[in-house]
């Protein structure tokens, strides 16, 4: 029986994830990963036929990390929506390289916002929001889309160093957008009932 490899697939993904966090996913290659692991490039290429395959594995890890970051909330009720939105923006500040990798690199499997909202990885966020707002799934998704566009815009500008982070101002804007989205969803629901 051959000896167990010292460098595992998970170790390679973790090293590449660390590179993506520190300096961007574009810096992931066999050499940088092997340097991070203090090994030759052979284990990297053994476990991953291409660097593209490795980057896709790192993308999945980053996506899971991002979801966990979003869901790290201490509030309940309608405040959950606002906290998730703020966490999204905070993620862009704390992890700008990962933010750009997740949302500005073209690695996402979804090609549209409608595909993204139905993605399996977003289900915990949508479920938590639906429970907190006590609204239908359809209404929750409509409100989510409105908030997502707003927070993604803020987060993108911040992640690309074009805007200073002012949490109080952002929170005020986010509360306004949330209130408007909820009122619009409620009005649409009332209109549907009268038809």
42 and 129 belong to one structural domain? no
What does the radius of gyration of the chain's CA atoms come to, in whole angstroms?
A: 20
Amino acid 111: pLDDT: 58
Q: What is the pLDDT of residues 67-104, one digit of tens each?
A: 899 888 876 666 777 888 899 999 999 999 999 999 88
Task: Decide if 66 is inside a domain.
Answer: no
Helix (H) or strand (E) holding 109: none
How far is residue 193's CA from residue 125's CA, in Å, rounded to a whole number?
A: 28
Helices 96-104 and 79-94 cross at an angle (nearest 10°) of 110
127, 140 in Cβ contact below 8 A? no
Amino acid 133: pLDDT: 75
The residue segments making up the domain with residue 93 are 71-194
83 and 176 belong to one structural domain? yes
The label of the residue with tokens 């203090």 reads: 38
Amino acid 113: pLDDT: 65
Tell me the mean pLDDT in the region 17-28: 97
Helices 123-133 and 137-159 cross at an angle (nearest 10°) of 120
Q: How many domains are contained in the chain?
A: 2
63, 115 in Cβ contact below 8 A? no
3-state DSSP assignment of residue 111:
coil
Name, of 73-77, 88-92, 133-137, 154-158, the range with top average pLDDT.
88-92
Q: Nearest-CA neighbor of 62 among 88, 29, 98, 10?
A: 98
How far is residue 109's CA from residue 123's CA, in Å, rounded to a whole number?
A: 15
Q: Which residue has the higher pLDDT, 166 or 192?
A: 166
80 and 153 belong to one structural domain? yes
Q: Half-sphere exposure (CA, 13 Å, Cβ side) for 41?
A: 10
Task: Decide if 165 is inside a domain.
Answer: yes
**1 pLDDT tier (thresholds 50, 70, 90):** low
Structure tokens at 175: 């509360």
Share of residues in the chain with pLDDT > 90 (%): 41
Q: What is the pLDDT of residues 97-131, one digit of tens each?
A: 999 999 888 777 655 666 777 777 778 778 887 88
Task: Decide if 21 is inside a domain.
Answer: yes
39 and 100 belong to one structural domain? no
50 and 80 belong to one structural domain? no
Structure tokens at 121: 């990885």
Share of residues in the chain with pLDDT > 70 (%): 88
How far is residue 58's CA from residue 19's CA, in Å, rounded to a whole number?
A: 10
How far is residue 106's CA from residue 118's CA, in Å, rounded to a whole number?
A: 18
Last residue of a domain, one of 41, 61, 81: 61
50 and 77 belong to one structural domain? no
53 and 78 belong to one structural domain? no
Residue 161 reports pLDDT greater than 80: no
């Amino acid at each position: 029986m051959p000896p167990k490899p010292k460098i595992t697939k998970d170790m390679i993904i973790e090293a590449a994830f660390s590179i993506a966090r520190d300096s961007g996913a574009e810096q992931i290659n066999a050499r940088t990963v092997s340097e991070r692991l203090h090994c030759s490039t052979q284990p990297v290429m053994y476990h991953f036929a291409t660097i593209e395959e490795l980057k896709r594995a790192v993308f999945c890890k980053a996506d899971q990390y991002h979801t966990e970051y979003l869901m790290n909330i201490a509030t309940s009720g309608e405040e959950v929506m606002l906290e998730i939105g703020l966490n999204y923006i905070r993620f862009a500040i704390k992890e700008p390289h990962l933010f750009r990798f997740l949302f500005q690199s073209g690695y996402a499997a979804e090609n549209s916002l409608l595909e993204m909202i139905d993605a399996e990885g977003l289900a915990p966020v949508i479920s938590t929001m639906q429970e907190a707002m006590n609204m239908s799934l359809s209404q929750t998704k409509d409100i989510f889309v409105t908030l997502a566009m707003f927070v993604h815009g803020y987060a993108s500008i911040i992640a690309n160093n074009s805007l200073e982070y002012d949490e109080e101002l952002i929170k005020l804007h986010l509360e306004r957008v949330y209130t408007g989205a909820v009122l619009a969803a409620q009005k649409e629901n009332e209109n549907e009932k009268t038809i």
